[in-house]
Chain A
């Protein structure tokens, strides 16, 4: 067991101070705006939950929320299986390992605005490689919302599938060879090796991958903004940026934040369930020692 030491607070204090300034004060400002009406003269007046009711009755908010959920759902449905497939087929030794890791990680390290810019240039029907190729099939992401959806999803698959693949790969390489030898002796099929050895071993990293991908796609703003400049499809962050009235913007921010907070709790519970939590490793050791 880790010792209890309240002086540890001193070590945490700088972080607390810094993050409090950059998180709590701004959030309080937002809460403040969400319950008030700001007149043209800058006078504040209390309006209670009026802005919240307005947001919750706003079709545009619900549409953006649904659109965002569909987007995140599609992203997960494509990226998770694809990432696992890639990880299963990645080389395990030799020069191929670093080559794969480095090349695959490259899109993860590109500024998000530049990711959008790359795809804007790639997809434009006048100058883009993909745009020119698909032009004859009637593709034009600037004119057709379906094509815009297609482009944004392809862009996100391009941008983030590597994350899933690298996480799944990290799970796969941690499987001891003895497991595979045992499976071979038992004459296990490829499918049962995957189902009963590889998948359970990947379960934890895949949960992390699912949650990370869900959260980040749920908050997406910059990349679509670079491609379609705030046009259709409008996601939650875009809707938030485009809302003008301060009170409504603030109320929407709080609702958005609460959704994220709830999801975050799930994330935390999953991440710290096994050995992520500080001290959990010791507890396991203690138990092992006692047995």
Chain B
């Protein structure tokens, strides 16, 4: 389909609109607080890296970043490990209640997390897990395991079943076939599912905030506490905020062709 000669203007304007607030955040992170609060400047006049130095130099900032990365990684590993066999079952077999189960998983992806904060707090307190990385990681499984199952099922259904049957005829047992043949075939699907688990755990705020107090404070909780306090250190907040964009920005290139598929739970 031939597009008009000026078609590029539409996405260009849209991307400009997307980049402006991000630019403002990044620009603020290179300004001094004096410049931010007293002068309105489009570019940092007194370019400074002090804000980043403060973030990296402060043990509390370092630990919140480490906390977030820790529970996010744990959650990604758990989600993928349990989702792999389940997705295989959904894509290859019919069994009693399969459709209901598949639907029920989806309802958990869509469940409003605000409903779950209080019961989660009580549940994990009862097990003595409140304020631990594993509690946040397990709680995020609520929406990430269904997401991983749906995405992986989408990828697995693209692999013809003849491959499984040939492998079984060749004498492979199910575990051997699954690990040696099947997993390499859907490696990109696993990558995409892992990326989305990572992302949704990384962007989530309510549950992570509700399940942490001292030991596992996530990055967003600290940002929240500081941004709504009086006498805000805007420069440092902007620097820390900018740093939270980096995990997404790093991996985005590798998944660029799967973004739509991942967000739509593997259904595109």
> Contact: B111 with A257, CB < 8 Å?
yes
A120 at interface by CB-CB < 8 Å: yes
> Contact: B257 with A2, CB < 8 Å?
no
> Contact: A126 with B37, CB < 8 Å?
yes
What are 24 A-B contacts with C-beta separation under 8 Å?
A: A4-B94, A14-B82, A16-B101, A18-B145, A29-B119, A85-B10, A86-B11, A91-B8, A106-B248, A109-B248, A111-B204, A113-B205, A117-B25, A118-B22, A121-B234, A129-B21, A166-B263, A222-B206, A237-B114, A256-B114, A257-B111, A263-B110, A268-B106, A271-B267
Query: Which residue of chain B lies nearest to A101 when distances are taken between CB atoms in the complex?
Result: B256
Chain A residues with CB under 8 Å of chain B are 1-9, 11-12, 14-16, 18-19, 21-23, 25-27, 29-30, 85-86, 88-92, 96, 98, 100-114, 117-122, 126-130, 132, 158, 161-163, 165-167, 169-171, 175, 177, 180, 193, 205, 208-209, 212, 215, 218-219, 221-222, 226, 229, 236-237, 240-241, 246, 249, 253, 256-257, 260-261, 263-265, 267-268, 271, 276-279, 281-282
> Contact: B252 with A102, CB < 8 Å?
yes
Assembly CA distance A209 to B263 (angstroms): 9
Residues from chain B with Cβ under 8 Å of A121 in the complex:
24-25, 28, 234, 237-238
> Contact: B115 with A111, CB < 8 Å?
no
Query: Which residue of chain A lies nearest to B219 when distances are taken between CB atoms in the complex?
Result: A111
B51 at interface by CB-CB < 8 Å: no
Number of interface residues of B (CB under 8 A): 103
Assembly CA distance A221 to B110 (angstroms): 14
B53 at interface by CB-CB < 8 Å: no
Assembly CA distance A51 to B20 (angstroms): 46
Assembly CA distance A278 to B28 (angstroms): 49
Task: Select one of A212, A249, A279 contacting B118, CB under 8 A.
Answer: A249
Task: Select one of A8, A89, A96, A261 contacting B89, CB under 8 A.
Answer: A8
Closest approach, in angstroms, between the C-beta of A166 and any C-beta of chain B?
4
Task: Select one of A8, A27, A30, A167 contacting B95, CB under 8 A.
Answer: A8
Query: Secondary structure of the B side of the interface?
Result: helix
Residues from chain A with Cβ under 8 Å of B103 in the complex:
264-265, 268
Known: A19-B105, A112-B220. 15 other contacts (CB 8 A): A3-B94, A4-B94, A9-B96, A22-B139, A23-B111, A91-B11, A103-B18, A117-B227, A118-B21, A158-B21, A163-B263, A170-B260, A205-B264, A219-B114, A222-B205
Given contacts A29-B122, A109-B252, A100 and B153 within 8 Å (CB-CB): no
B192 at interface by CB-CB < 8 Å: no
| Top-6 shortest CB links A-B | A109-B248, A26-B119, A89-B10, A8-B89, A11-B89, A11-B85
> Contact: A256 with B115, CB < 8 Å?
yes
B193 at interface by CB-CB < 8 Å: no
Query: Which residue of chain B lies nearest to A237 when distances are taken between CB atoms in the complex?
Result: B114
Given contacts A5-B94, A111-B244, A113-B224, A119 and B21 within 8 Å (CB-CB): yes
> Contact: B259 with A101, CB < 8 Å?
yes
Residues from chain A with Cβ under 8 Å of B145 in the complex:
15, 18-19
> Contact: B241 with A114, CB < 8 Å?
yes
Closest approach, in angstroms, between the C-beta of B101 and any C-beta of chain A?
7
Closest approach, in angstroms, between the C-beta of B7 and any C-beta of chain A?
4
Assembly CA distance A44 to B32 (angstroms): 55
Assembly CA distance A249 to B9 (angstroms): 48
Assembly CA distance A163 to B260 (angstroms): 7
> Contact: A90 with B36, CB < 8 Å?
no
Chain B residues with CB under 8 Å of chain A are 1, 3-4, 7-11, 14-15, 17-22, 24-25, 28, 36-37, 40, 42, 78, 81-83, 85-86, 88-96, 98-99, 101-103, 105-108, 110-120, 122-123, 138-139, 141-142, 145-146, 149, 153, 157, 161, 199, 202-206, 219-220, 223-224, 227-228, 234, 237-238, 241, 244-245, 247-249, 252-253, 256-257, 259-261, 263-265, 267-268
Residues from chain A with Cβ under 8 Å of B138 in the complex:
18, 21-22
Q: With a 10 A CB-CB cut-off, give which of B78, B112, B117, B203 has the most chain A CB atoms.
A: B112
Counting residue pairs across A and B whose Cβ atoms lie within 8 Å, the total is 298
> Contact: B202 with A111, CB < 8 Å?
yes
Residues from chain B with Cβ under 8 Å of A256 in the complex:
112, 114-115
> Contact: B248 with A100, CB < 8 Å?
no
> Contact: A106 with B1, CB < 8 Å?
no
> Contact: B114 with A241, CB < 8 Å?
yes
Residues from chain A with Cβ under 8 Å of B119 in the complex:
25-27, 29-30
> Contact: B142 with A22, CB < 8 Å?
yes
> Contact: B220 with A114, CB < 8 Å?
yes
> Contact: A158 with B86, CB < 8 Å?
no
Given contacts A15-B105, A23-B108, A208-B268, A105 and B206 within 8 Å (CB-CB): no
